[in-house]
Chain A
Amino acid sequence: SQTIHQWPATLVQPVGSPLSLECTVEGTSNPNLYWYRQAAGRGLQLLFYSVGIGQISSEVPQNLSASRPQDRQFILSSKKLLLSDSGFYLCAWSVATPGTGELFFGEGSRLTVL
């Protein structure tokens, strides 16, 4: 069966510091990978998605970036965090397109920027 791991689970960082969140998927090959952010009282916002190694699509202009160095590894980064980057970050995977569309999420990473 497929599993998705995301870490760290909780992170408190000062403004201006760098960020690296990691996500790995097991039990499947060539998945689509996603980073979403969930702010209090708001729906999940798609940040990045990837259909293959080195292929990244950005949905929202911001100071975050994503990379996919391996087939089942997805990394969310920032060089300098802003207060507005605080939130709950979720990694997800889906079967490669066309697939059936369902997303399967990790447990999330809670980021607090002070």
Chain B
Amino acid sequence: EDQVTQSPEALRLQEGESSSLNCSYTVSGLRGLFWYRQDPGKGPEFLFTLYSAGEEKEKERLKATLTKKESFLHITAPKPEDSATYLCAVGGFQKLVFGTGTRLLVSP
């Protein structure tokens, strides 16, 4: 059974203070690893898909990386508008298994 564990559960940063979120996974065969951003009371917003170890994707201040056992979401010089819950999921082709997310709060 595919499993996803995200850490930390919550993270508080000062504006400009870079950090990383972790997503570790166990799967029978990785078909894809997905990152989402979720604002309070809203549906998750798709950010990235990673398919193979060593792959990296970037979008503005976010960069996602993938190894055989985990993925990192690096946040460089975050701004208050980056505050959200970041979800990681594995799977694809009909089913995704989600982690419980990391709640990120960036203070000005």
- In the bound complex, residues from chain A placing their C-beta under 8 Å from that of B87 are 43-44
B93 to chain A, nearest CB (A): 5
Given A43-B98, A103-B46, A106-B43, 4 extra CB contacts under 8 A: A43-B87, A44-B44, A100-B49, A100-B92
B100 to chain A, nearest CB (A): 5
A: interface residue count bin: 20 to 34
- In the bound complex, residues from chain A placing their C-beta under 8 Å from that of B101 are 43
Report yes or no: B93 in contact with A101, Cβ–Cβ below 8 A: yes
User: Which A residues are within 8 Å of any B CB, using their own CB?
Assistant: 6, 32, 41-44, 46, 49, 51, 59, 90, 92, 94, 97-108, 110
Report yes or no: B95 in contact with A42, Cβ–Cβ below 8 A: no
B78 to chain A, nearest CB (A): 23
What CA separation (Å) do A88 and B49 show in the bound complex? 24
Given contacts A101-B31, A101-B32, A102-B49, contact A44 B95 (CB under 8 A): no
